[in-house]
Amino acid sequence: MTDGNTVYDIVILGGGSGGYACALRAVDLGKSVLLVEKDKAGGTCLHYGCIPTKALLHAGEVADLSRDGIQFGIKTTLSGIDMSGVHSYKDGIVGRLYKGLQGTLKSRGVTYLEGAGKLVSPTAVEVDGQRYEGRHVVLATGSQPKWFPGFEPDGERILTSEHALKLDRVPASVVILGAGAIGVEFASIWRSFGADVTIVEALPNLVPLEDKDSSKLLERAFRKRKIAFHTGTKASKVEKTDSGVKVSLENGKEVEAEIMLVAVGRGPVSADLGYEQQGVQLDRGFVKVDEYCQTAVETISAVGDLIATPQFAHVGFQEGILVAERLAGLQVMPIDYAGIPRITYSDPEVASVGYTSEQATEKYGEIKEVSYNLAANGKSLILQTQGAVKVIAAKDGPVVGVHMVGARVGELLAEAQLIYNWEAFPAEVAQFIHGHPSQSEAIGEAHLALAGKPLHFHN
């Protein structure tokens, strides 16, 4: 039970990835914590983002395998997609994780309060008219889907990702604005379910924040999957028609579809929560913090999608832990955001850590890089996937970037993360021969080639 007279060590506003990670680490360090959440513990990631979208992507993978079983000598057919059954599968996973998280928060001693909170002083939040004091306040109110004027979602023909997760049918056709992770993941889902998909991206490439070679590999794969895309052009307007929507592009083309998904990113949830009134500085809605997630107000920190750092749940985890440890008096190090793993779970997956070729050249000057084609990897051939593992090293220096495209390559990123963050040299990684046959061999082969002793190398 919460008590309005209790002064907590930390009051956390927002129970998503950043907020609950901060709460769990803080109670482990002996702090009393009040965690306030207006919706459900777990936030966007658990309920409206990472987990449900990945469940849909796996359902799409099952659909593709059913449709294409004959290439493996298995006589399967796909008779249809039962979206109610797909949602039941998805919601079952979310439900189990939510129940587990609730139990974890309770068993670890986090005081949890469901309600809409607002910052009312540098050391207090108000929830449903009740004031709660803390020696420190952590803001973790997350993000929400963005859209442009003229492209406002209506939940029927123009959707956000949250609407799309609840769609009760497979649309015949979809146009998607935005080719970041959300856009290409939903493109992958709907194409696997049988929809015609067209992506519109203002920047020159799909997944534009990734290395250009990764973007090109994904574009090649999407062409093969018959996912259409228009890059380097913006949508100028959308009109509702009898059958759906008609989207006009700045390049003069028009795209008609049953529905439109607006996937142009997520913006911070910071308006009307009392932040600026208490001295918290905002920039385009994002809370401004230093490298330790500390705001301009000594008693207030902020983490997760609310601050202008990469919008991944695992970034929120790391920031929440950093703040908890800092407030407990432990020595903490600023986060190297380049060392955070990045995965887009489309088919094929795109995974990376460290710097792109362009970024590495700018930072280190001369670089060496090797791209190992998965066509030479036995396990990738068994999985019938195409792509590559690209490794970038500073000249006579450590590995500074790893970029991968292919089925399941996200699972390879743990090793790549260690290589980058431990500043390993190619020759050090090349000492370790990877299990055969495995996709991890592609990482080993790339490092062998960079170290000057290639084995089965095909560039």
Active site residues: 436
Q: Show the tokens assigned to 49.
A: 């983002």
Q: Which residue has the tokens 């998965």?
A: 374
- At residue 34, φ and ψ (nearest 5 deg) are -110, 120
Fill in the DSSP letter of residue 307: S
In angstroms, the first-to-last Cα distance of the chain is 62
Residue 205: both structure tokens together: 């490439």
With contact defined as beta carbons under 8 Å apart, do 19 and 42 qualify?
no
CA-CA distance, 285 to 152, in Å (whole number)? 19
Nearest 5 degrees, angle CA 235-CA 241-CA 246? 20
Are 107 and 95 spatial neighbours (Cβ–Cβ below 8 Å)? no
Tokens of 210: 């990734």
Whole-number Å distance between alpha carbons of 433 and 166: 45
Write down the H helix ranges in 265-335: 313-327
Which tokens hold the place of 226? 């018959």
